[in-house]
Structure 1
Amino acid sequence: MRLTERLDDLIADWLPRQRWFAGKDRGIDDVSVVFETELVSGDPSLRHVVIAVRQGEQVDRYQVPVGLRRELPGRLEYAEIGRIDGVHVYDAVHDPELTRVLLEKMADCSDAGPLAFRSISGLETDLDSLASPAEQSNTSLIYGDVYICKLFRRLTAGINPDLELSRGLMGAGSKHVPALHGWISCELDGTVSTLAMLSEFLRTGTDGWQLAGTSVRDLYAEADLHADEVGGDFAAESERLGAATAEVHRDLATAFGTGVMASAEVRELARQMHARLNEACAAVPQLVPYAGRLSEAFDAFAKVDEPLMVQRVHGDFHLGQVMRTETGWMLLDFEGEPAKPLEERRRPAHPLRDVAGMLRSYDYAARHLLVNAKAVSGNPDQLEYRAHEWAERNRTAFCRGYAEAGGVDPAAHEEIIRAFEFDKAVYEVMYEARNRPSWLHIPLSSIAALSASPAPGSRTR
């Protein structure tokens, strides 16, 4: 049974309920199957389907591994898309009986129709998969405790930066990224494009956001202690994370080279920062009192007269993109911001842009518990002071580790780091106002504090 021409209505109804679907804010005008590839025949069977979704003038492509069964086990009912001629159609990422074929075909370096499966070395194939519930824009399959396969749901023509940078870092011998084992690709618009990548699963790893959150809770539980006096002090880990980040930046420069941003390009970047600020002020009046200070920071950046080195960077760096393992910090997910065009995500940038992203993440880690009054108890002003103290301690430690490991010293480049961080905070104000209004005070409080404080890392050590 071919699904083409028969899957359209089912997918159109099912898509808006998926976390990885990027068009939830708009109606779907049309769904069509771009191509369909049978990977497993019989009952159950597996079809790899690429669909085109039209919403107004925009057309996006997504991949959906589709399972077909005459009888659907109870364990898979939640994954059902619908039925065609009495046959259950479901999202096959949740069926380990079918997803094993992805691992087998990568191990064999085989092709199936338009799909190319590749691996770097021998793979274990007798492993069941489990779909991770933690993903947002992608879906990850965890095979045993050995591999993690990231399926890029929304497809873009070209090599995904996560695969591109992981290969380069592996070639540079980086110690702070998971080993790459394989990938799946196809042709889109005449260009080899990434569908999935298979990496080492960090079974001993703990998410950086989780570790930082535990440290903050410890601080809030000890009303009479400062951040450096609490047993869960995170500063030493922040310093080690800064060093690991500097080493990965150095490896990226080795693998992909560096360039120089001309003065005209710096001014254009500052102009874009001003434009984003103006847009945010028009949409969020609470930001207006800080607009003057933000503009001053962007103006100071525009006047930087030193050559600015640019290189490939992570592009979406925060505490949720790092893991602490028994051997040290590991950096993950080099895809960049998925909502941005591929060309923009691949564009070299100043490494302090990544640093600024992590500094903003520390502020979020310190303040996110304060959103829910029931999560912590105490005087609000006192809690805000403690949040600021924790954030400053860890921001300074991260910058110290980054600079001492050979990264660009944020304290010596105040105009650059301040502009990047303010620009990120302006983005956060817009995001929270549109999506999580109860969190809006987090970036606004951070902007207020940043406006009154020296550059990160510039305090007396």
Structure 2
Amino acid sequence: MIETGDLAELLAGHLPKQRWFGGGDPVTAAVEIRAVTELRQGWPGALHVIAEVPAAGGTQGHRYQLFVGLRPPDEIEVFLEGKAEAYMGDVETTQGPAHAYDAVYDPELALDLLHHVAPDISAERARVLLVEQSNTSIVFDERHIMKLFRRLSDGGNPDIEVTTALARVGFEGVVRPEAVWQRDGDDLAVVNEFLAGASEGLSLALTSLRDLYDRRLPPEDCGGDFAPQARRLGIVTAKLHLAMAEAFGTTDPDPRSWADDMLAQLERLGDVSVDTGAVRARYERLAATADAGRALRVHGDLHLGQVMRTDAGWFVLDFEGEPDRPVEERRRPSSPLRDVAGMLRSFHYAAEVALRDRGEEVTDELAALAGAWEERNSFAFSEGYRAVSGIDALLPSDEGCDLVQSAFELDKAVYEVAYEQAHRPDWEAIPRAAVERLLERA
């Protein structure tokens, strides 16, 4: 329907504008089209595309999945209003000239895609979740949600693998997949029940913080105190780790390997303003410990944006791990304290984002309130986590917990600096300040 060369040229301009693209740099090498499937003929047309972007230095690049919509130039695409990043450009097709665009935003084509992925599920309405994430999620009739994986992982997608295994062992904090779309060994999409009426953890935290900053009272005296929810979230996280241990087993820890992964991430940072010598020294302390607890499959990117609160409790989402880390690293067994560290970093992020959202000067009073909120909720989460029976068997001693957890917190902050440099430069100061603070700890 489209010449391969024309399609590759469109994608070379389109991909770098997407949040889910691997890095913020322009595509300097030719995009390679690996597969094109015509999912719908006529107008509007729809193509399923697998494209590969070569990496720098000739190493293996990343493969991306795209759903390309095609409509004639005289049609007005109301669904694309305000979504400039979704428009790919004009292109010649076998049916004549057409606008090419990201078809997930086209309700008609999105419903076609659902029928292709999950023929047994019917729906009449479709909408894209307009949130920042590394994949694309489409909600159908407020009953089902499809996650379209954008960057494809060799050997299948970890999210499908983990949620299926956790559901099998009876962990109630995940949603079991309703349908999975696979092709040639790739996991392309998954359809789950949509948690209607659920609230994202980050949204709940930001509501609590807005109340705190408006009232200027200690966190425990505010009506929107988040600490009870943080404690329940700690309990669910511990139960998640126990279920992970049951589903995948545990192994002896390898702190040397953990530290090597952290050092590799530090090298990817490429930022000389971070005290890399001090960071390396902290990682080497982790590598040398003989008190590291057990190693197991973990979430790998646990934060407030990855959890949803419903009337039934907390649900954990998105088990793909941190998108800018190599997938083989994300699959390796690690310390459960890696997830604990990720959530504690998220409390800091939430407090800082809420301050920025106010659009006013951050006074000493507001900064102190932010610190108090972070401290209170970090304590509540940790208390809930350690209260779950059996979790101590996966953890180091108290002294070992401090060493291992602090190393993972520092690694997470370093990762965040690199991530913000590539995706949200205006936010880089948040994790950079965290790196400095964590290095000051004894």
- Name the % identity: 41
5+ residue gaps, structure 2 = none
Aligned to 1:87: 98
Aligned residue for 1:46, secondary structure, equals strand
Residues 1:104 and 2:119 are matched in the alignment:
no
Residues 1:75 and 2:60 are matched in the alignment:
no
Name the CA distance, whole Å, in 2 between partners of 1:323 and 1:450.
28
Q: CA 1:404/1:33 → structure 2, altered by over 3 Å: closer, same or farther? A: same
Name the CA distance, whole Å, in 2 between partners of 1:281 and 1:107.
43
Aligned residue for 2:54, secondary structure, equals strand
Aligned to 1:254: 246
Q: CA 1:80/1:441 → structure 2, altered by over 3 Å: closer, same or farther? A: closer
**What amino acid sits opposite 1:243 in the alignment?**
I
Name the CA distance, whole Å, in 1 between partners of 2:37 and 2:435.
51
Is the CA contact 2:198–2:310 (under 8 Å) kept in the aligned structure 1?
A: yes
Aligned to 2:296: 311
Residues 1:404 and 2:387 are matched in the alignment:
yes
Q: CA 1:439/1:100 → structure 2, altered by over 3 Å: closer, same or farther? A: closer
Q: Output aligned runs, 1:156-235, within 5 Å.
A: 156-187=153-184, 192-223=185-216, 225-235=217-227
Is the CA contact 1:283–1:430 (under 8 Å) kept in the aligned structure 2?
A: no
Per-residue CA distance 1:172-216 (angstroms, 9 max, x = gap) = 1221112311111112xxxx1111111121111111111111111
Moved more, 196-205 or 29-38: 29-38
**What amino acid sits opposite 2:238 in the alignment?**
A
Q: Output aligned runs, 1:279-428, within 5 Å.
A: 283-284=272-273, 287=275, 292=278, 297-306=282-291, 308-371=293-356, 374-376=358-360, 380-406=363-389, 407-408=391-392, 412=398, 413-428=401-416
Is the CA contact 1:62–1:155 (under 8 Å) kept in the aligned structure 2?
A: yes
Q: CA 1:29/1:214 → structure 2, altered by over 3 Å: closer, same or farther? A: same
Name the CA distance, whole Å, in 2 between partners of 1:411 and 1:214.
36
Aligned to 1:142: 139
**What amino acid sits opposite 1:284 in the alignment?**
S
Name the CA distance, whole Å, in 1 between partners of 2:64 and 2:8.
13
Determine which of 236, 240, 250 is the counterpart of 1:244.
236
Q: CA 1:437/1:53 → structure 2, altered by over 3 Å: closer, same or farther? A: closer
- Cα deviation for residue 55 of structure 1 reads 5.2
Moved more, 145-154 or 125-134: 125-134
5+ residue gaps, structure 1 = 109-122, 455-461
Aligned residue for 1:62, secondary structure, equals strand
Aligned to 1:117: none
Is the CA contact 1:131–1:141 (under 8 Å) kept in the aligned structure 2?
A: yes
Is the CA contact 2:39–2:47 (under 8 Å) kept in the aligned structure 1?
A: yes
Name the CA distance, whole Å, in 2 between partners of 1:306 and 1:42.
63
Name the CA distance, whole Å, in 2 between partners of 1:209 and 1:175.
21
Q: How many residues align?
A: 426
Name the CA distance, whole Å, in 2 between partners of 1:425 and 1:101.
41
Name the CA distance, whole Å, in 1 between partners of 2:2 and 2:427.
47
TM-score, with length taken from structure 1: 0.83
**What amino acid sits opposite 2:11 in the alignment?**
I
**What amino acid sits opposite 1:385 in the alignment?**
A
**What amino acid sits opposite 1:405 in the alignment?**
V
Is the CA contact 2:137–2:145 (under 8 Å) kept in the aligned structure 1?
A: yes
Aligned to 1:60: 62
Name the CA distance, whole Å, in 2 between partners of 1:321 and 1:427.
17
**What amino acid sits opposite 1:181 in the alignment?**
E
Q: CA 1:93/1:278 → structure 2, altered by over 3 Å: closer, same or farther? A: closer
TM-score, with length taken from structure 2: 0.87
Aligned residue for 1:145, secondary structure, equals coil
Is the CA contact 1:242–1:398 (under 8 Å) kept in the aligned structure 2?
A: yes
CA-atom RMSD, angstroms? 2.8
**What amino acid sits opposite 2:379 in the alignment?**
T
Aligned residue for 1:93, secondary structure, equals helix
- Cα deviation for residue 154 of structure 1 reads 1.8
Aligned residue for 1:73, secondary structure, equals coil
Is the CA contact 2:251–2:296 (under 8 Å) kept in the aligned structure 1?
A: yes
**What amino acid sits opposite 2:348 in the alignment?**
D
Aligned residue for 1:148, secondary structure, equals strand
Q: Output aligned runs, 1:429-440, within 5 Å.
A: 429-432=417-420, 439-440=427-428
Name the CA distance, whole Å, in 2 between partners of 1:435 and 1:51.
21
- Cα deviation for residue 444 of structure 1 reads 4.8
Name the CA distance, whole Å, in 1 between partners of 2:286 and 2:406.
8
Moved more, 47-56 or 438-447: 438-447
